Structure 1
Amino acid sequence: MRRRHTALAAAMSLGLLTACGGDGGSGSGDGASGATLELWVMEGTYPDTGSYFEDLKAAFEEETGARLNYQLVPWDEAHDKFTTAAAGDTLPDVSEIGTTWVPEFADAAIVADMSDWIEDDGLSGDLVEGLQQAGTVDGQLYGMPWYAGIRALFYRADVFEEHGLEPPTTWDELLEVGLQLKDLEPDMIPYPVPGSSEHSFYPYLWGAGAEIAVEDGDGWTSTINSPEAVEGITFFTELATEHGLSVAAANTWTEADSLQSFQDGQAAMIVNGAWTVGNLLNEDESWDGKFGVLPMPGKDGGISPSFMGGSLVSVIEGSSEPELAWELVKLMTTGDFADRWSEETGFFPGQQSLLAEYSTSDDPYVAPFAEQMSEGGKLLPVTEKFGAVQAEQVVQQMLLAILSGNKDVQTAADDAAAAMDRIFQE
């Protein structure tokens, strides 16, 4: 079916950058061309994976005459699976690739340079800028943008309305309304501060005008201990340590734990992703109207940046059917299948032409995320080294040390910066 380079495993030492996580499946069929493509996609992004990928498989086989086998891979297993497959010469022909994996996989010759295909088919001018930037290394594009997700502020609209509270638009307002909720709703958690969720924290770092790290010559240097960064870290952690808007249990919560607390009626405000709206409404229709979403409040107004993550679909370097693989990539990332993916998952499409509809939506569960993405979407440091930073949970360890009282903010930030710099220099 395919052959590729071996001896890549040593180059792949960076950790998984989590995003989402469902059930596996595979197709079969007799393609007239005799060719068979293998596709990997990440498990759990789409709740109804079976129908979507079976329909994709049928359409691809009808269009090309080739066979398509697909496999759903859990996000938390995917990085190791790539490493093992690279060493064993068993990588697929096409795979979903998380945006934060691209620098590493390009460096390790896992993903193919797709720039010419994208350009020749007239697609380069219609790509969502953030996803295109995330997929580009040294001027070459290593994946076709598929979908993007972004986080914003969820709040209990029914509780706010009951008490005549206004959703916050600044950091001071966020603190003020949290303190009011603390008194008005003593059985609720006004604002859980999840110490194991880096993405819930970054809006405060970036909102203070700081960066996680910056390019320094041919490498990167951490700036997570800069004065601006310390200001953002301090505001975020003091919501718990000084103002009591959180609970001790949340010190180790992940983003999923925060969402669960919101679903259980415990949390009044949380940071979470656009893709979770559908989960809330599908699991319990009574949620409709009980919660609202707004872009992340800026320090003094406007919007604090939020991490824009997502995925590309890449042709794997060494596929024996590269042109056919590109046809599969196009089928997934453009036209009806791309539009259907966005409609049914709550993620935004990777093409500007498809995104335009969402940008002008008046849906209260769509418009805030579209605004956040267009005005406040931000990427993590685009370096293959940042995967190791996340694998070591450097940011989470910093937050936990502060929230638990083991370190003051500046010390914890200095230690985090030192850990990042060590990784960047390895």
Structure 2
Amino acid sequence: MIARRHVLAAGAAGSAALALAACGGDSGGPGGTGSGGEVDGEGKTITMWLMEGTNASADTYIEELKAAFTEATGATLDVQVQPWEGAHDKFVTAMAGGTGPDVAEVGTTWVPEFADAGGLDVLTEDIEAAGLAEGLVQGLVDAGTLDGEMYGMPWYAGVRSILGNREMLEEAGVNAQPQNWDELLTMITTLEEHNPDWISFPVPGASIFSATPFIWGAGGEIAEEQGGTWSATVNSPEAVEGLTWYTDLALKHNSSTAAASTWVETEALAEFLQEKVPMFITGSWVPATIRADNPELAEKLVAFTIPAKDSPVAPSFLGGSLMCRFLETEEPELSFELIKMITTGDFATRWAEETNYFPGTIETMDEVVAGGDELTAVFAQQMTEGGKTVPVTPAWGKIEGAKTMSTLVGTILEGTSVQDAADTAAAEMDGFFSE
């Protein structure tokens, strides 16, 4: 696979410190192919990093994956589970020192940064040759694509929609899917009038992904690329309209508390679990958590798509992970065989079922939805019709680290004008884009 190799310096503009040494495979040469085009990995070992905590049944999954991989290729699979906390810096250190794996689970917002740094290998030709290019979840494809090349194979994703307590909603006479912002506001004000002690629709100030559907739903963008240069647009009239509408729910209605400017999603969930909140924005993975912790409340759950200004489905952040191959692996073919095994077929379906995330292929996702419930169908609709990623640029990791977006929402809730807060955020983003 000579075509897969790139001169590191060419892919690591501004990231010369990440000069990679060989990592991963221990066979000392490129992987060969056996009869029938299958990769022959006899006597070889490849290493995979898997993030901790997504799958409560990960131990069993890993052991069966290792056995299946050995049966299919003859190679040994060494799976090393890594905690999410500190994982970003561990990746960077590994890329710089040549101590990384052959294959790794990489969060969607990190892929552009690591690809730009020269740490990840292009998978475009491999995906196309394997007949996998069609039928992938587009939001994950977008997240893993930089400069027209795919650096990650979609694995799993989650999306945010509105989760409600059917009993509380019906008590107030609210039970229909909102078709636009006007109808959502009517739902919220009806709940507010019915019971002023309820937090009718929490607006957690430190949760950027509860706010982005309203920026995007008004036709705004966080940032846009033109001629290879990114610039912030979160202060555009459309983005400001969406931010204003969303934050007004807290500032002009009882969709908040005095502490909401610093709330994260888990705090909104805590209030929902106490049945003080009739509906809120949360992730597709949350209903399973509620079923495990509070089966009685789980029986009351209902879901709605987050509406856009003039339509029932707004773009909503599609986050998750892709399976990536490190550029300097000595076993590119074996590594891609592993990526295929994890992201398609039985192991992809099983991971989705065990984690309550959606798989990265439409075919597998359709199977999960068919076997799911009404909640699953609503979240799937939000994902397939509105799944959207943040700006695909290496600078996004710095913006995320600086908490630019969560600071934006929080300062509005604390009294700063929307335009001033958005202008400040845009200036900070443009500083990162220009580095």
Considering the TM-score relative to the shorter chain, is it more than 0.5?
yes
Q: Distance in 2 between matches of 1:5 and 1:36?
A: 25
Distance 1:45 1:418 in 2: 35
Between stretches 176-185 and 229-238, larger displacement belongs to 176-185
Residue type of the partner of 1:259?
A: L
Aligned partner of 1:418 in structure 2 is: 427
The range that moved more, 189-198 or 168-177, is: 168-177
Deviations 1:15-55 (A, max 9, x none): xxxxxxxxxxxxxxxx9833222111122222222221222
- Is 1:399 aligned with 2:403? no
Tell me the equivalent position of 2:32. none
Contact persistence 1:213–1:222 (CA under 8 A)? yes
Match of 1:282 among 288, 292, 297: 292
How do 1:75-224 and structure 2 match up within 5 A? Answer: 75-167=84-176, 168-224=178-234
One-letter amino acid of the counterpart of residue 36, structure 1: T
8 Å Cα contact 1:308/1:377 also seen in 2: yes
Q: Is this contact kept in 2: 1:171–1:299, CA < 8 A?
A: yes
Deviation at 1:354, TM superposition (A): 1.4
In structure 2, the partner of 1:11 is 15
Distance, in Å, in 2 between the alignment partners of 1:402 and 1:292 is 30
Residue 234 of structure 1 is matched in structure 2 by: 244
Q: Deviations over 1:217-271 (max 9, x none)?
A: 2211111111111111111111111222211212111122222222232322211
- The answer to whether 1:55 aligns with 2:77 is no
Q: Which residue of 1 aligns with 2:374?
A: 364
Unpaired runs of 5+ residues, structure 2, are 1-5, 18-39
- Is 1:43 aligned to 2:52, yes or no? yes
Alignment-mate amino acid for residue 53 of structure 2 = G
Distance 1:149 1:79 in 2: 20
2: CA distance, partners of 1:376 / 1:360: 19
Partner of 1:321: 331
Contact 1:192 1:240 in 2 (8 A): yes
Letter of the 2:386 partner, please give it: G
1:115-157 Cα offsets, whole Å, 9 max, x none, are 2222222222232222222212222211211112111011111
Whether the 8 Å CA contact 2:122–2:151 is kept in 1: the answer is: yes
User: Is 1:34 equivalent to 2:46 in the alignment?
Assistant: no
| 1:359/1:371 contact within 8 Å kept | no
Contact 2:353 2:368 in 1 (8 A): no
Q: CA deviation at 1:203?
A: 0.7
Shift of 1:79: 0.4
Cα deviation for residue 199 of structure 1 reads: 0.3
SS at match of 1:324: helix
Q: Summarize the Cα distance change of 1:151–1:12 in structure 2 as closer, same or farther, 3 Å threshold.
A: farther
1:361–1:367: 8 Å Cα contact kept in structure 2? no
Q: Please say if residues 179 and 245 of structure 1, whose CA atoms lie closer than 8 Å, have aligned partners that are also in contact.
A: no
SS of 2:85's equivalent? helix
Task: Give the Å deviation of 1:414.
Answer: 0.8
Equivalent position amino acid for 1:197 in 2: S
Instruction: Compute the displacement of 1:6 (Å).
Output: 9.6
Assess, with a 3 A threshold, how the Cα gap between structure 1 residues 43 and 280 changes in structure 2: closer, same or farther. same
How far 1:278 sits from its partner (Å)? Answer: 1.2
Report if the CA contact (8 A) 1:6-1:89 is conserved.
no
1:389 aligns with 2:399: yes
- Which whole-Å CA distance do the structure 1 matches of 2:263 and 2:13 have between them? 32
- Conservation of the 8 A alpha-carbon contact between 1:5 and 1:318: no
Counterparts in 2 of 1:47 and 1:185: CA distance versus 1, 3 Å = farther
Shift of 1:61: 2.4
Give TM-score scaled by structure 2 length: 0.87
Aligned-residue Cα RMSD (Å) equals 2.4
CA distance in 2, matches of 1:213, 1:275: 28
2:154–2:343 Cα contact (<8 Å) kept = yes
Query: 1:270 aligned to 2:305?
Result: no
Q: Distance in 2 between matches of 1:129 and 1:300?
A: 23
Tell me how far 1:361 sits from its aligned partner.
6.6
CA–CA distance in 2 between the matches of 1:213 and 1:157? 37
Normalising to structure 1: TM-score of the pair?
0.89
For 2:224, what is the secondary structure of its paired residue?
A: strand
Q: Secondary structure of 1:248's partner?
A: coil
The Cα offsets for residues 139-197 of structure 1, whole Å up to 9 and x where unpaired, read as 22112111121110111111112232234333223223223323433432111111111
Is 1:254 the counterpart of 2:264? The answer is: yes
Aligned to 1:24: none
State the Cα distance separating 1:363 from its structure 2 match.
2.0
Supply the AA of the counterpart residue of 1:425: S
Deviates more, 1:331-340 or 1:79-88: 79-88
Q: Residues 110 and 317 of structure 1 are in contact (CA less than 8 Å); yes or no, is this contact kept in structure 2?
A: yes
1:132 is paired with a residue of what secondary structure? helix
Distance 1:32 1:215, change over 3 A: closer
1:289 corresponds to which letter in structure 2? E
Moved more, 318-327 or 68-77: 68-77
Structure 1 residues 233 and 156, CA gap change in structure 2 (3 angstroms): same
Distance 1:172 1:123 in 2: 41
C-alpha distance 380-413 of structure 1, shift in aligned 2 (>3 A) = same
Task: Provide the C-alpha distance between the structure 2 equivalents of 1:279 and 1:362, rounded to a whole number of angstroms.
Answer: 15
Quick one: structure 1 residues 250 and 48, their matched pair in 2 at CA, closer, same or farther if it must change by over 3 Å?
farther
Distance, in Å, in 1 between the alignment partners of 2:94 and 2:223 is: 31
What is the aligned length?
Answer: 406
Q: Give distance in 2, aligned partners of 1:93 and 1:108.
A: 16
Q: 1:42 to 1:417 in 2, by over 3 A?
A: same
Residue 377 of structure 1: how far off its partner (Å): 1.3
Indicate yes or no: 2:320 matched with 1:310: yes
- Whole-Å separation in 2 of the counterparts to 1:161 and 1:242: 24
